[in-house]
Amino acid sequence: MRASDLKTYAKNTWCPGCGNFAIELAARQAFVELMEEGKLKIENLVVLSGIGCHAKMSDYLRANSFYSLHGRVVAPATGVKLANPELTVVGFAGDGDAYGEGLEHLVFAAKRNVGISMIIHDNGVYGLTTGQFTPTSPPGFQGKSTPRGSPEDPMNPIALMLSSGATFVARAFSGNLQHLKGMIREAITHRGFSIVDVLQPCVTFRNTWDFFSKRVYDLQERGHDASNWNEAMERAREWDYGGGAGEIPIGIFYRAERPTFEDRVLRGRRPRELPMPELEKVLKGHV
Amino acid sequence: MEEFSILIGGQAGDGIKQAGNAIARVFNRLGYWIFVYEDYPSLIRGGHNFAMVRASSERIASHRDGIDALVALNQEAVDRHSWRLGEDSVVIFDSDTAKAEGLGIPMSGIVKRRGLPAILRNAIALGALAAVLGIGLDVVEDAIRAAVDKRVEENLEAAREGYGIANGSPWAAEGRRVERVPGGPRPLLTGNEALALGLARGGMKIYAAYPMTPTSALLHYIAAHEDELGAIAIHPESEIAVIGIAQGAAYAGIRSAVGTSGGGFSLMVEHISLAGQAEIPTVIVLGQRLDPATGAPTYTKQGNLFFAMFAGHGEFPRAVLAPGDANEAFHLAAEAMNLAWRFQIPVIILSDKHLSESTFSFHFDISRAATEPPKLWDGAGEYRRYAQTEDGISPLAFPGGGAVVKANSYEHDEFGITTEDADLIAKAQDKRLRKAKALEEYVNGKEMVSVEGDPEGKIALLFWGSTKGAAAEVAERIGARAIQPLCLMPLPKRELEERLEGAERVVGIEGNSRGQFCGWLRCHGIQVDGVVLKYDGRPFAADELEERVRRSLR
Ligand SMILES: Cc1ncc(C[n+]2csc(CCOP(=O)(O)OP(=O)(O)O)c2C)c(N)n1
Ligand code: SF4
Ligand SMILES: [Mg+2]
């Protein structure tokens, strides 16, 4: 199978030059590589997406998909995984989607270590609703709802996910396709909850190609120890999602092993194979 | 007809619920039909709690305001409930904490002397009640063993002491004797328990809920009985997560259900619309309680009918089912699972505090309910999740089975790809409308209207949900027909009109302030001649309702 076999007939409507193209291509390439290596079965892949420019992934990928509501990728993804833990569950969400409207679900997915991968198309803007500030927009960002500049400081999703108990936390950049593909692969093959915050330029409402190209560096190339939570937190705080001049790390911040939610809830059971209820027996206890 | 109504009252923390349960089990062992109403405030300690146990040789499913015995663990119970007493009624009370006319037993002193926990006053009272009613100690002991799982011996000891004291008193010598009646014992189920069994019978494998009265006990029950029910209970971070998880599971081919009350249902509303658009089988138990907002959490109301029927933006089919007792709760819960999967729609089961938390004698033939298979893809050609069909129902396939299954909250083509094409949009809506039609026909072809009382009676009492117990009993007593649609949306109009044919006067009975169901009937051209409404958080008692119905007929 080739990466192009994973495309549907849906017409692509992203703006030319949008950072989403790289994420979509990297995802297809990662899927194909994993299939070839026997690490993924295409019929077992389920992608989910929220609502926003990013969410068109569901239309564009020729795979099982659940095109959900705005902010509601994580909960259905959790349901899919619980229903059938043999499935490979990958959620694609926007920064507004995952860090705004549906933040609570993300925190809990990390806390539970549910076996899903979340790829966040973090463009620091609401793209589809034509340019308002999001939880990761820099202070002073002039969006349509904040013409005098965002009155808030951005949140740091890497630090948030580390604090929430995520067992795989990474950052990637649309401008570095090979690295991005690698991060998606690592996220998918990780056992438990994984998240990749992808710095995704939105050419129309927040063009960050230049900004990020000049600043990103690869954590792994500099020998970061991803098994050390404190170090991960330190690296996470190197950039606060603001404007400054400093460097911006990409790569794997943290990776750990912990029992997964589905392991702990299902205890080896498979919902499909649960026995029919023993009602007669239950009713006897009620006399 | 032999019947007894007993009220046991005290403070929260006095073990009133457990005592009510034990009294119910005593009468159940003697062959009686049981109904238990529980009344308690939304707090953990203090406040007034009471349970009303009604036992009858005839089938009943309601309580009466009047009582034959009052068991009072404190003065408040005496003061609040003495109006319920009749001439022959008896009062058994803790003479250390209350004054009353009747059989006083120093229960607080006894537990102290014996070194028993204070809560076991309830067992002393139970023993005394049995002695006064002429019930054998063996029946009480048996019931305690079945009802209690902790401190069984101490419970038995306390009950024996109460029994002994009462037996030697003039109150026992009055010759009251609860006779064994034919039949029984029957399983005693709360509405919540019956819903759990019905959902499991309908194939539910995952139940998700966030605690909220009056359906918390449904979550607790399923969690405690996962193995017997063949289902898994989970408690996520919010009702939005609850329904999202359930829908993810359903998309993956696993039958799921959720339960909540009005507040949590409000949070789920966007996902109801998603169920409509993406055609995801979604079963929701909506246990109504007194609202708006937080309302009075432990009190009942039938106020969410319109909300259940219209929650969710857009035009899409749904079913709203309304069981009135434990039998129907079981039956309709299984039916809800099957309807949701047959039509790939949201199905809402309307319960309320009164149904969910009251206890009933269960006598439904469980073999009448089963998990029915949905329409599945035959594997031929390329799978289209939203294939156009005559009845609007597209065959299902699930991820992992080889088909590419695309669920979509956007308007979509047959494959499940987003579309804004005018023609495809209209076609997709037509498909949902055909499905609505198929659902309506299906519901009309099932028996979805319950009739009790005299089916030919000139007066028809028309009601829904938990009002059933009281209303059916009133109909029986005044020679009216009791007519109760089990499916409120779509309305089984044909069947309903047949049942109403020849009725000269139709009285609507509802536990809300605006007669929502009567309004819904008017939308279908069905008129009621009068309404009896109640919205003080308390359910209709059978005798109270009879009085109100008679007044409305004058
Ligand atoms: C409940 C709800 N609120 C608002 C919207 C409108 N809406 C659609 S997309 C979107 C924001 C998208 O931003 P983001 O998640 O960052 O995705 P992007 O378009 O940037 O990829 C909003 C607010 C919606 N669809 N649903
Ligand atoms: S608006 Fe921005 S995020 Fe959306 S497609 Fe265009 S460039 Fe990409
Ligand atoms: Mg965005």
- B18/B164 same-domain check: yes
pLDDT of residue A59: 98
- B16/B141 same-domain check: yes
Whether B179 is in a domain gets the answer no
Whether B362 is in a domain gets the answer yes
- With a cut of 90, say whether residue B363 has pLDDT above it: yes
Over residues A209-225, mean pLDDT: 98
Q: How confident is the model at residue A244 (pLDDT cuts 50, 70, 90)?
A: confident
pLDDT tens per residue across span B413-466: 999 999 999 999 999 999 999 999 999 999 999 999 999 999 999 999 999 999
pLDDT tens per residue across span A168-186: 999 999 999 999 999 999 9
- With a cut of 90, say whether residue A245 has pLDDT above it: no
Q: Torsions phi, psi of A9, nearest 5?
A: -80, -5
pLDDT of residue B394: 98
**pTM for the structure as a whole:** 0.98
Q: Atom 6 (ligand 2): residue with closest C-alpha?
A: A15
pLDDT of residue B175: 73
Which 98-127 residues of chain A touch chain B by CB within 8 A? 104-105, 108
- B384/B353 same-domain check: no
Pocket lined around ligand 1, Cβ cut-off 6 Å: A 50-54, 70, 94-97, 121, 123, 125-129, 134
Q: Which residues contact B171 (CB under 8 A, 6 or more apart)?
A: B90, B92, B102, B103, B132
- B338/B435 same-domain check: no
Expressed in angstroms and rounded, the spacing between residue A131 Cα and the centre of ligand 2 is 9
Expressed in angstroms and rounded, the spacing between residue B343 Cα and the centre of ligand 1 is 30
Whether B217 is in a domain gets the answer yes
Over residues B284-295, mean pLDDT: 97
pLDDT of residue B44: 79
CA distance to partner chain A, nearest, from residue B415 (Å): 10
- With a cut of 90, say whether residue B173 has pLDDT above it: no
Instruction: Fill in the amino acid letter for B249.
Output: A
- With a cut of 80, say whether residue B507 has pLDDT above it: yes
Domain harbouring B28, CATH code? 3.40.920.10
Closest CA to B304 of B5, B485, B508, B516: B516
Whether B548 is in a domain gets the answer yes
- With a cut of 80, say whether residue B126 has pLDDT above it: yes
- B151/B198 same-domain check: no
Domain harbouring B203, CATH code? 3.40.50.970
Contact B36, B71 (CB under 8 A): no
pLDDT of residue B184: 84
Domain harbouring B542, CATH code? 3.40.50.920
Q: Which atom of ligand 2 is nearest to the CA of A52?
A: 4
pLDDT of residue B396: 98
Nearest CB to A286: which of B189, B206, B256?
B189
Helices B239-251 & A103-112 angle (0-180, nearest 10): 70
Closest CA to B301 of B485, B50, B513, B488: B513
Contact B61, B188 (CB under 8 A): no
User: Class for domain A3-284, per CATH?
Assistant: alpha beta
Q: With an 8 Å Cβ cutoff, is A165 touching chain B?
A: no
Interface test with B, best of A14, A68, A90 (most B CBs within 10 A): A68
pLDDT of residue B149: 85
- Give the pair of three-digit tokens for residue B504: 């000269």
Residues of the domain holding B515: 449-552
Question: Would the CB of A204 count as within 6 Å of ligand 2?
Answer: yes
Q: How confident is the model at residue B272 (pLDDT cuts 50, 70, 90)?
A: very high
Report the length, in residues, of chain B. Answer: 554
pLDDT of residue B223: 98
Nearest CB to B254: which of A67, A272, A279?
A272
Q: With an 8 Å Cβ cutoff, is A1 touching chain B?
A: no
DSSP structure string for B491-532: --HHHHHHHHTT-SEEEEEESSSS-HHHHHHHHTT---SEEE
Whether B162 is in a domain gets the answer yes
Whether B307 is in a domain gets the answer yes
Contact B505, B458 (CB under 8 A): yes
**What ipTM score was computed for the predicted complex, to two decimals?**
0.98
CA distance to partner chain A, nearest, from residue B473 (Å): 24
pLDDT tens per residue across span A52-80: 999 999 999 999 999 999 999 999 999 99
pLDDT of residue B46: 75
- B168/B257 same-domain check: no
DSSP structure string for B305-332: HHHHHH-SSS----EEE---SHHHHHHH
CA torsion, ordered A197, A31, A66, A156, to nearest 10 deg: -10
pLDDT tens per residue across span B179-210: 999 998 999 999 999 999 999 999 999 999 99
Report the length, in residues, of chain A. Answer: 287
- B411/B269 same-domain check: no
Expressed in angstroms and rounded, the spacing between residue B76 Cα and the centre of ligand 3 is 61
Over residues B345-359, mean pLDDT: 98
Helices (H), B170-261: 191-201, 216-224, 226-229, 239-251
pLDDT of residue B390: 98
- Within 8 A of B256 by CB-CB distance, chain A residues are 79, 83
- B258/B341 same-domain check: yes
CA distance to partner chain A, nearest, from residue B367 (Å): 10
Q: How confident is the model at residue B172 (pLDDT cuts 50, 70, 90)?
A: confident
Q: Do residue B400 and residue A63 have CB atoms under 8 angstroms apart? A: no
- With a cut of 80, say whether residue A18 has pLDDT above it: yes
pLDDT tens per residue across span B365-396: 999 999 999 999 999 999 999 999 999 999 99
* Residue that is last in its domain, among B444, B472, B505: B444
pLDDT of residue A286: 95
pLDDT of residue B79: 97
* Residue that is last in its domain, among B340, B368, B396: B368
- With a cut of 90, say whether residue A243 has pLDDT above it: no
CA distance B428 to B80: 60
- B421/B496 same-domain check: no
How many separate domains does chain B show?
4
Q: What is the mean pLDDT of chain A?
A: 97
- B154/B192 same-domain check: no
Q: Do residue A69 and residue B230 have CB atoms under 8 angstroms apart? A: no
Q: Do residue B251 and residue A66 have CB atoms under 8 angstroms apart? A: yes
Q: Do residue A66 and residue B234 have CB atoms under 8 angstroms apart? A: no
Whether B308 is in a domain gets the answer yes
Which 25-64 residues of chain A touch chain B by CB within 8 A? 43-46, 48, 51, 56, 58-59, 62-64
CA distance A133 to B448: 52
- Within 8 A of B210 by CB-CB distance, chain A residues are none
Closest CA to B356 of B46, B63, B48, B36: B36
CA distance B262 to B308: 9
pLDDT tens per residue across span B70-83: 999 999 999 999 99
- With a cut of 90, say whether residue B43 has pLDDT above it: no
- B77/B44 same-domain check: yes
- With a cut of 80, say whether residue A138 has pLDDT above it: yes
Of the listed ligands, the closest to the CA of A94 is: 1
Domain ranges of chain A: 3-284
Burial class (CB in 10 A: 0-12, 13-18, 19+), B211: middle
- B393/B440 same-domain check: yes
CA distance B35 to B470: 11
